[in-house]
Chain A
Amino acid sequence: MSTLLEIKNLKTHFFSKDKVLPVVDGVDFKVKKGETLAIVGESGSGKSITSLSIMGLVPKPGGKIVEGEILFDGKDLVQLSENQMYKVRGNDIAMIFQEPMSSLNPVLTIGEQITEVLIYHKKLSKKEARQKAIELLKIVGFARAEGILDDYPHRLSGGMRQRVMIAMAMSCDPKLLIADEPTTALDVTVQAQILELMKDLSKKFESSIILITHDLGVVAELADRVIVMYAGQVVEESPVVSLFDEPLHPYTQGLLSSIPKLDEERKRLTSIAGNVPSPDSFPKGCRFNTRCPHVMQVCIDKQPDLIEVKPGRKSRCFLHEEGVNSNG
């Protein structure tokens, strides 16, 4: 499989009057064609800002990509002008959000919102766009799509709105779909349907998906590969099955042991003590050293690199380095 998106040493920092916040601090990863990559991490680990950086929509004022390359199909998106980015957004890369309730414009009908994308990017006529919108709504599961077109968003339920958002995102056959916690705000039963839908669509449209979530259940359901982010950095990268079988990084181990399991009797769930450090007070050395159960002197002195531990599996931890490997 060829590479669709490659991110090299991406640094997105936020500048305020007297400090610099390295919210995304040297992130590298690749997304192959047709692959679903999950980015996992707690709130504040920089996953959403990474995705907004790809879209060229870093929140302003304050936010800026200070270093790195975002190679999409060979083009560096960081270097593109705003006008060139308009054509990439929606057309090549589309995005869906956590809150389907607020991401549709309340004063425009569903039809107006979907056809607008089609008229703008695909230069369709109003009639053609309407026809295509009906088709798209059918694909995402509305049997009587014509009926929905003239409705305002407030008449749809959360799950239905998320379907509409997905229809809008898929309307121009994007090569990459970024889904920022697409199921977090939905009921559990609806979550499963939306995940199923996304799975089907990624096959049908042959598009890659970047799935941002903190729900490891969703990861297991949908992803091919997983990236675990912590404090603005990638701490582990792995195919999904081996991540769940044998997490390498202590942070990933912590995340996995905090999921309740049915076949186990535990009185309390384990949790990782403490919080993600805020970007203005990242500790020196390994950024996880304040919460890591295996912390060593070297972790406080030096920052570990993201190294390939096993084929296809990377981790950012000194435990994997020669000599200390055995007592992990």
Chain B
Amino acid sequence: MAKPEINLPNDINAQTLGKRRSLLSIIVAKFFQNKLAVIALVVLSIIITSAILAPLITPHDPNLQNLRHRLEPPGPEFWLGTDHLGRDLFSRLLYGGRVSLTVGFVAMIGAVSIGTTIGAIAGFFGGKVDAFLMRLVDVIISFPNIFLLITLVAVLEPSMEILILVFALLSWTGTSRLVRGEFLTLKNREFVLAARTIGMSNTRIIFGQILPSAMGPVIVAATLAVGNFILAESTLSFLGLGIQPPRASWGNMLTYSQSVTIFRNAVWYPTFPGLAILITVLCFNFIGDGLRDALDPRIVEK
């Protein structure tokens, strides 16, 4: 792009510095320098697309039992084999991916929204508000999470919605601390005072002026959080407290790996959902790392 010429009437030899690039294009360019993150992004896109398009791709009904084909190894008819009830594993894997990814994403959106709002309020207003909200965070962090999750899910009917709600309500604390920290430093910057002098209200300053600067770390944390929520969903489903059969999720597909017979006779059955979780979480972590580098202003462009 050509340098824009600026002719000031009173002869300032003014030229804007460097060629014009939007912030976004700089970040995208930096992200694409990280090969691992790009590969992870490609792999993850494939996983997400196939989960979305599951009804079109899958050759079998994921919940159709076919007892004549129990524990069949991978082959031309059942690409990834069948489980102990003769259900097609490939179909279940894709449908299970829908559930696991939905839980991960929706819980992340919930947790990040709550965390950002509370962190922003605490950091911006400070004083008593800050003290109260941060003690609330301390209390929530001190809960033994796994036990609380198990109790809650046991008391309430275990379902995807409850799972998402519980995850979101218990996991916003990290984000809120992160955002609070950002706000504590940013609120004393001169541009915030300048925004006040032109009559902006607190709400507009928080969301319009400070939050955009604080978004970098939040995006990274959110990406990593999706991976963690997928793991947490798998853990609970594995224990039988999450997504209930016959609905498939990667976690509850792993449940039967506890059986020694299955491990000895049909090792593919627990392997594929296990791999799916591993690869997906790994992808989120690599992308998170890539974003961290891309959004960090201290890492200079090469």
Residues of A at the B interface (CB closer than 8 Å) are: 55, 57, 61, 85-91, 94-95, 97, 99, 102-108, 116-117, 120-121, 141-144, 147-148, 150-152, 154-157, 159-160, 165, 168-169, 190, 193, 196
Interface size on B, residues (CB 8 A): 33
**From B8, B10, B126, B191, contact of A105 by CB (8 A):** B191
A41 to B216, CA, bound (A): 42
A28 to B17, CA, bound (A): 45
Residues of B at the A interface (CB closer than 8 Å) are: 4-10, 12, 14, 16-18, 20, 23, 126-127, 189-191, 193-201, 204, 208-209, 212-213
Contact (Cβ within 8 A) B199 A147? no
**From A99, A116, A157, contact of B14 by CB (8 A):** A157
Contact (Cβ within 8 A) A142 B17? no
For A148, give the chain B residue with the smallest CB separation.
B6
A154 to B213, CA, bound (A): 14
For B213, give the chain A residue with the smallest CB separation.
A107
Q: Contacts A55-B197, A102-B191: A159 and B12 contacting too (C-beta < 8 A)?
A: yes
**From A61, A120, A152, A193, contact of B204 by CB (8 A):** A120
List chain A residues, Cβ under 8 A from B5: 144, 147
Contact (Cβ within 8 A) A108 B194? no
Can you sample 12 A-B contacts with CB below 8 Å? A55-B196, A87-B199, A97-B194, A106-B213, A142-B8, A147-B6, A157-B14, A157-B17, A165-B194, A168-B198, A193-B10, A193-B12
Contact (Cβ within 8 A) B199 A104? no
Contact (Cβ within 8 A) B127 A147? no
List chain A residues, Cβ under 8 A from B18: 155
List chain A residues, Cβ under 8 A from B4: 144, 147-148
Contact (Cβ within 8 A) A91 B199? yes
List chain B residues, Cβ under 8 A from A94: 197-198
Contact (Cβ within 8 A) B7 A143? yes
Contact (Cβ within 8 A) B17 A141? no
Total A-B Cβ pairs within 8 A = 106
Contact (Cβ within 8 A) A86 B193? no
Contact (Cβ within 8 A) B194 A141? no
A102 to B20, CA, bound (A): 20
**A97-B193, A143-B6 known, 5 other contacts, Cβ within 8 Å:** A104-B194, A116-B208, A148-B4, A154-B17, A160-B14
Most buried by A among B10, B198, B201: B198
Contact (Cβ within 8 A) A89 B196? yes
**From A102, A144, A190, contact of B12 by CB (8 A):** A190
Contact (Cβ within 8 A) B197 A57? yes
For A116, give the chain B residue with the smallest CB separation.
B208
For A153, give the chain B residue with the smallest CB separation.
B191
List chain B residues, Cβ under 8 A from A121: 198-199
Contact (Cβ within 8 A) B212 A107? yes
Q: Contacts A141-B10, A154-B17: A89 and B191 contacting too (C-beta < 8 A)?
A: no
List chain A residues, Cβ under 8 A from B209: 105, 108
List 8 tightest A-B contacts by C-beta distance, closest first: A90-B199, A90-B198, A89-B199, A147-B4, A95-B197, A155-B16, A102-B190, A103-B194
List chain A residues, Cβ under 8 A from B208: 116
List chain A residues, Cβ under 8 A from B197: 55, 57, 89-90, 94-95
List chain A residues, Cβ under 8 A from B213: 105-107
A169 to B190, CA, bound (A): 15
Q: How far is the CB of A88 from chain B (nearest CB, A)?
A: 7
List chain B residues, Cβ under 8 A from A57: 193, 196-197
A55 to B5, CA, bound (A): 37
Q: How far is the CB of B92 from chain A (nearest CB, A)?
A: 45
For A197, give the chain B residue with the smallest CB separation.
B10
**From B12, B17, B126, contact of A155 by CB (8 A):** B17
List chain B residues, Cβ under 8 A from A103: 190-191, 193-194
List chain A residues, Cβ under 8 A from B14: 157, 159-160
Q: Contacts A97-B193, A152-B23: A143 and B199 contacting too (C-beta < 8 A)?
A: no
Q: How far is the CB of B29 from chain A (nearest CB, A)?
A: 16
**From A120, A144, A190, contact of B6 by CB (8 A):** A144
List chain A residues, Cβ under 8 A from B8: 141-143
A320 to B108, CA, bound (A): 73
For B216, give the chain A residue with the smallest CB separation.
A107
List chain B residues, Cβ under 8 A from A159: 12, 14
List chain A residues, Cβ under 8 A from B190: 97, 99, 102-103
Q: Contacts A99-B190, A106-B191: A143 and B9 contacting too (C-beta < 8 A)?
A: yes
Q: How far is the CB of B191 from chain A (nearest CB, A)?
A: 4
Q: How far is the CB of B6 from chain A (nearest CB, A)?
A: 5
List chain B residues, Cβ under 8 A from A106: 191, 213
List chain B residues, Cβ under 8 A from A90: 197-200
Contact (Cβ within 8 A) A102 B189? yes
A165 to B9, CA, bound (A): 18
Q: How far is the CB of B86 from chain A (nearest CB, A)?
A: 56
